[in-house]
Chain A
Amino acid sequence: MAVPTEEQLADRARFVFRGTVESARAPHARDVPSTAATVRVDEVVQGPAKLMMFAGREVFVIPCPRERFRAGERAIFYTNALVFGDTLTLESVGHRPLAAGTIGVRSTSHPASALRTRDVQKRLATADLVVVGRVAAVRLPPASRRAPARTKPAPPVSEHDPEWRDAVIDVERVAKGSSGRKQVIVRFPASHDVRWFRAPKLSAGDEGVFILHRTGALEAAPASGARAVSAPSAPVFTALHPQDVQPADMQDDIAALLQRARSTRGTTAPARPARSTRSVKTTGRKAGRRRRSPR
């Protein structure tokens, strides 16, 4: 079986760190399997913001099949969390020993940012269309607009009503896919219910990079609130994942990620520059926040 590359390991692991095996065994503790090793996190390479504070702390790592840890061993550990208890128990997907004298990992980005980039990469991979643009208007989906004002919500009523809205995006550049139009419509939930609050909320004037997926049955036939939505004039997409709307100043980074994906797939055709349909505007609000610091 081929040994996974570091990139493949990092892709399967949410928490990557440089660490030192303190003990090949974990102390007897609740929720900690006897197979776990005690590892000190020396430096976090990739991980969610919540785990940044584990630098300098001990965690328990359960080796994957046929993986062995030696006391004193220094390595890059590729892991996922299993149990958050009094301490953190991780499950290894692999580790790469560090040569003696290696000081550490020179990461070019913040660990949380590295993980976020990886998440954006995954969204880009499945996206039908990626555009740079500006929200020209936000309106109710067409059939909802035809409903008389001040009527009760159409049944059924649910606390999870997504409250669909259509954002009309003026497309400045297409980074992936083809819309064939200068405008696309992004259907998004305006609701702040737990089911929908993480989905990007768009307002007129927002500028950004929109990572779009075609609407499914879910968005085409809302569970409640709006009536069945008739086909609008421009193509309709969704941006439901928190990473689906990126700040406009991320467009070069996004282009680089798309380029890298093409290269990885072995595309022989040279990557085309993003197609421009409009001049880039400098006014308007930035969609999303550029998260330079981890959440």
Chain B
Amino acid sequence: MARTRVRRPRRSRRRRARPASANIALVNMIPRSLSGETEQDSEPSIAVDSDNPQRIMATAFTPDPMGTGYAPVYASSDGGQTWALRSTVPSQNITGDITIGFGGGGRLYGGILKVPGGLLLNLLRTTNPFATAPMTVIGSRSNVDQPFVRAHKSGTRDRVYVGNNDLGATGGRTATIDLSLSGASSSPRFKKVRLERRSTGSAGQNGPQVRPAVHPDGTVYAAFYGWRAFSSTKRVTSDVVVVRDDKGGDSAKPFTALTDPADHLPGRLIAKNIAFVWDARLGNNRLGGDLSIAVDPTDSDIVYVAWAALDANVYTLHLRRSTDRGATWSANDLRTKASATNPALAVNSRGAVAFLYQRVTGSGASQRWVTTVEQSADGGRTWQSNVLANVPAASPAPQFQPYIGDYIGMTGVGTDFFGIFSANNSPDLANFPNGVVYQRNHDFWTRRLFDVDGTTEVAVSIDPFFFRVRG
């Protein structure tokens, strides 16, 4: 019988823009074998193995291409140059939320909202994230929202912190951290710590964003929205609260080291009576508050926080800094970004801070999502700004919310910053002023995507993009 001729895909003319900055690498993470995919791969997170930064894991709302009982993760073993997908997360096809973090010894921790299940938190671990074996469930609790994982190696033990909004908490004080100081043990114990010490008023709860930041010396910060009111028009009135623990969360009264000078209660209020509208839209993406926090690895006294609030009815990001362990904060914003969301902060081993965000420009059909990373090596006095992506905001049509994510991710390892965001994947080099590499089949000349066969055109969709900024 005649052999079927194996067709090689038409080799994409891999026109690659000369990088505007040799220090920035940007990669579309969809692997070539998934060139036909048109999913909305939003809300990405990233974890870099600090023992070996070549090993990077990432997640997004990418469904399992096979439609199985597991959800996928992205893995790179070459510092983010290439990525492969494998389904190892025990959640049916996709998760409701997912974030990840590396501990020591290559161990990867994850926090997910499991499917099926309404708000079913599962805490996960694997000793080898590059294997194809499923991650192990090491903790589970219901009625929890937006688990946000940070892990840190501590000798042979790992310290694991999972910020979450525990809607089962009594008294409306729902901002919570689940922490384990022995994450690497065979059956790690997690301690649940309530962070809110004030009334949440008519809101009856905190916001979903509870973000930890961990320093090797045992200092742990966390930022959360202290909701104070929720109106019939879904307008949230809130404080932005920062708490701190100096013993890794193992203090007698954990996360009470910072108090506010006004009421002397634990939790420094760094912004009071801010407001935003729950479930409003910015460029097809839903809004409901944004928070990011990062501590300087060279000095745990220095901490940065970014949050979102309405300024003259415009959803706006604010960035401030403390140099005295959160006791006092810069009087003015280091950066203020209107019509922006998804802030992510990181500090590298030289004490330089990076600020990643996604901003909408233009109006109507010509709206654009502009993803920018800004760096400052002098504590926020001067900034170097680089646009990573400037893509259409009105296409493709949303498949679900969030369109690009309720958060994105960035971390500092050594002198480098590693980050991830989701955006329209049109292979148009004009959209990526610092250059880009696509793994999936594409043609930069005709600005088209192609399926595995190299000839069948594929529609534009939302893809995850990895970047590395060398410090």
- Chain A residues within 8 Å of B, Cβ to Cβ: 14-15, 20, 30-31, 40, 42, 48, 50-51, 53-54, 56-58, 80-88, 91, 101, 103, 115, 119, 150-153, 155-160, 162, 192-195, 197, 218, 222-224, 240
Instruction: Give min CB distance, B238 to chain A, whole Å.
Output: 12
Alpha-carbon separation in the docked complex, A57 to B165 (Å): 47
Q: A83-B85, A83-B86, A195-B115 are in contact. Are A155 and B36 (CB under 8 A)?
A: no
Is there contact, CB below 8 Å, between A86 and B203? no
Residues of B within 8 A of A158 (CB): 119, 145, 165, 167, 208
| B84 nearest in chain A by CB position | A85
> Does B43 make an interface contact (CB < 8 A)?
yes
| B398 nearest in chain A by CB position | A192
Instruction: Give min CB distance, A48 to chain B, whole Å.
Output: 6
The proximity string for B residues 228-251 relative to A, scoring 1 for CB distances below 8 Å and 0 otherwise, is 001110100000000000000000
Residues of A within 8 A of B252 (CB): none
Alpha-carbon separation in the docked complex, A196 to B334 (Å): 39
Is there contact, CB below 8 Å, between A14 and B400? no
Instruction: Give min CB distance, A34 to chain B, whole Å.
Output: 15
Residues of A within 8 A of B230 (CB): 152-153, 155, 157
Residues of B within 8 A of A85 (CB): 31-33, 82-85
> Does B212 make an interface contact (CB < 8 A)?
no
Residues of B within 8 A of A155 (CB): 172, 203-205, 230
Residues of B within 8 A of A15 (CB): 66
How many pairs of residues, A versus B, come closer than 8 Å at their CB atoms? Answer: 155
| B169 nearest in chain A by CB position | A156
The proximity string for B residues 101-119 relative to A, scoring 1 for CB distances below 8 Å and 0 otherwise, is 0000000000001011111
Is there contact, CB below 8 Å, between B86 and A40? no
Residues of B within 8 A of A224 (CB): 167
Is there contact, CB below 8 Å, between B33 and A40? no
Is there contact, CB below 8 Å, between B145 and A14? no
Is there contact, CB below 8 Å, between B116 and A240? yes
- Chain B residues within 8 Å of A, Cβ to Cβ: 1, 3-7, 31-37, 42-43, 61, 65-68, 72, 77-78, 82-87, 94, 96-97, 113, 115-119, 132, 143, 145-146, 165, 167, 172, 174, 202-205, 208, 230-232, 234, 278-279, 286, 288, 398-402, 406, 439, 451-453, 456
With A14-B67, A50-B36, A223-B143 already in contact, 18 other A-B pairs whose C-beta atoms are closer than 8 Å: A14-B68, A30-B82, A48-B67, A53-B453, A54-B452, A57-B452, A80-B68, A81-B66, A83-B84, A83-B85, A86-B31, A152-B232, A157-B205, A157-B230, A159-B145, A162-B118, A193-B401, A218-B117
Instruction: Give min CB distance, B122 to chain A, whole Å.
Output: 14
Is there contact, CB below 8 Å, between A218 and B118? yes
In the assembled complex, 21 residue pairs joining A and B whose CB atoms fall closer than 8 Å, in A order, are: A30-B78, A50-B37, A53-B453, A81-B65, A84-B33, A84-B84, A85-B84, A86-B33, A88-B33, A103-B1, A155-B204, A155-B230, A156-B145, A158-B165, A159-B286, A159-B406, A160-B145, A192-B401, A194-B42, A197-B399, A218-B116
Alpha-carbon separation in the docked complex, A15 to B311 (Å): 53
Is there contact, CB below 8 Å, between B452 and A53? yes
Which residue of the partner chain, among A151, A156, A192, contacts B204 with CB atoms under 8 Å? Answer: A156
Is there contact, CB below 8 Å, between B66 and A56? no
Alpha-carbon separation in the docked complex, A85 to B75 (Å): 9
Which residue of the partner chain, among A56, A81, A160, contacts B118 with CB atoms under 8 Å? Answer: A160
Is there contact, CB below 8 Å, between B451 and A53? yes
Is there contact, CB below 8 Å, between A84 and B34? yes
Alpha-carbon separation in the docked complex, A223 to B120 (Å): 10
Is there contact, CB below 8 Å, between A31 and B84? yes
Residues of A within 8 A of B205 (CB): 155-157
Residues of A within 8 A of B172 (CB): 155
Alpha-carbon separation in the docked complex, A218 to B96 (Å): 15
Which residue of the partner chain, among A58, A82, A194, contacts B402 with CB atoms under 8 Å? Answer: A194
Which 8 pairs, one residue from A and one from B, show the smallest C-beta to C-beta distance?
Answer: A85-B84, A197-B400, A155-B204, A156-B167, A195-B96, A53-B452, A84-B85, A14-B66
Alpha-carbon separation in the docked complex, A86 to B406 (Å): 29
Alpha-carbon separation in the docked complex, A155 to B398 (Å): 27
Residues of B within 8 A of A157 (CB): 203, 205, 230, 278
Is there contact, CB below 8 Å, between A40 and B452? no
